[in-house]
Amino acid sequence: MSTKVKIFIADGMSKDALEMFEASDQFDVTFQKETTIDELKAALVANEVVAIRSASKIKKDLIQYAKESSSKLKLIIRLGAGVDNIDVTFAKECGIDVMNTASANALSAAEHTIALMFAVARNVPQAYASLKHDEWRRAELVGFELTGKTLGVVGCGQIGRIVIQKALALGMKVCGFDPFMKDLKAYKGLEDVTIYESLDDLLRLSDLVTLHMPKGPQTARMINAEKISKMKTGSVLVNVARGGLEDVPAVLEALNNGRLRAYAVDVFEQEPPTFPSKLISHPKVICTPHLGASTVEAQDRVGMVAYHQIAAYFSDGSRVGVL
């Protein structure tokens, strides 16, 4: 009988997906909802696979520790799309593959983006809060329609393309920009979308701008004071991708001087952020605590996709999901 593959799941997993792992003859699973740094270090040495979400970080120092400790580690899998919490380059240098489940939560993240756009347009959080405080502020909470507005989508990967599809269905005009994807017109759903080679051109023409880029050296603070100065006066910025794609002080300044009408954000560079927060408390900011992938359906898909990708990786050497 072959030895089971040892898997450590560090940050939780949906019940149905976890049951699949535990029922498999292929895997020996250790599961935790929350994991300390010391526990994660030990797991990197003792297991062939370590699965994490956004809560855990596997940077160079932990990978180096595992390497120097005669680690059995073959694969790190990110249960989600973004891998900015993993040092992918150094892991590869050490012969460790890194995998993600990029498609599994795309729909939920895209829907949350649309939800935040509607929340901004119709002042939903402010209206809710006023009624809860026994106030009737109907006259001052006049919103705007999304239909006919121009949406600039920065990042046209799986999530961005779903946002585009849904925005077009709402009657919005859509333009896109993505420096990492070539021949964007070849992608299904982008045939009739205006694609710009310059981010500045997209910013100048968009009433709302939504971010769907990975976080890295090329994209950190990509929306800074200089870029915000190119945006329409009274435009809206939405980020359901990664904290740090925007320069927060520059965003706050733009909210204060009227360049930005509103800022809707689901992600923060430090999670949880430090409270109290000037950003979160700002009256023109609508924010949620990293809920983009927090749906029952997305979490089930993430776990199921991870199961099948890991099973195939060890059964027949499949590289699906490997970065």
Torsion sign (Cα): 78, 81, 85, 89: positive
Task: Using alpha carbons only, give the angle 13, 32, 72 rounded to the nearest 5 degrees.
Answer: 100
103: nearest Cα among 298, 310, 319: 298
Give the residue numbers annotated as catalytic, written as ranges. Answer: 242, 271, 290
Cis peptide before 276 (omega within 30 of 0): yes
251 vs 148: CA distance, rounded Å: 25
Cβ burial of 138 (10 Å; 0-12, 13-18, 19+) is exposed
Number of Cβ within a 10 Å radius of residue 126: 18
Place of tokens 């895997």: 27
Q: CA Rg, the chain, in Å?
A: 21
Backbone angles phi, psi at 166, to 5 degrees: -70, -35
263 vs 313: CA distance, rounded Å: 41
